[in-house]
Amino acid sequence: MKRFVIAAAAMTLCAGGAMAQSHQAGSHNPAVKNGAPHTIAAPAKGANSFTEDQARGRFAKAGYTGVTKLTKRDGLWQGSAMKGGKRATVMLDYKGNITAR
């Protein structure tokens, strides 16, 4: 009987720990990273490890065409591109986020 009570108590503690680890909606650090490019208001500063071809691919994946004048400055890939019939200055930060102006 004593072993049964101890085992039941141990299982209850383990179940409580599992509940505490559940995914919360809107988490800023999800367990599974979404690889799709995101458009944000301001680029994050940091060292960028994307190659020029990877940067062009991210812009294309986000719907930009005709990417020109692509250069890397201050950790950001910057260039000019078309989307929706409008030309914009586009930037790709080290996180893979796109900013357009």
pLDDT of res. 40: 81
Whether 29 is covered by a domain: the verdict is: no
- Distance from C-alpha of 76 to C-alpha of 44, rounded to nearest angstrom: 9
pLDDT of res. 32: 54
- Residues 58, 37 contacting (CB under 8 angstroms): yes
- Residue 57 is given by DSSP the state H
Whether 15 is covered by a domain: the verdict is: no
Whether 85 is covered by a domain: the verdict is: yes
pLDDT digits (tens, 9 = 90+) for 7-25: 666 666 655 554 455 545 5
Whether 23 is covered by a domain: the verdict is: no
Whether 25 is covered by a domain: the verdict is: no
Q: Which residue has the higher pLDDT, 52 or 45?
A: 52
Name the nearest CA neighbour of 94 among 53, 45, 34: 45
Q: Which residue has the higher pLDDT, 92 or 26?
A: 92
Domains in the chain, number? 1
Which domain covers residue 101, as residue numbers? 35-101
Whether 61 is covered by a domain: the verdict is: yes
Buried b vs exposed e over 27-39: b needs ≥16 C-beta within 10 Å?
Answer: eeeeeeeeeebee
Whether 91 is covered by a domain: the verdict is: yes
The pTM assigned to this predicted structure is: 0.61
Whether 62 is covered by a domain: the verdict is: yes
Residue entry with tokens 């680890």: 21
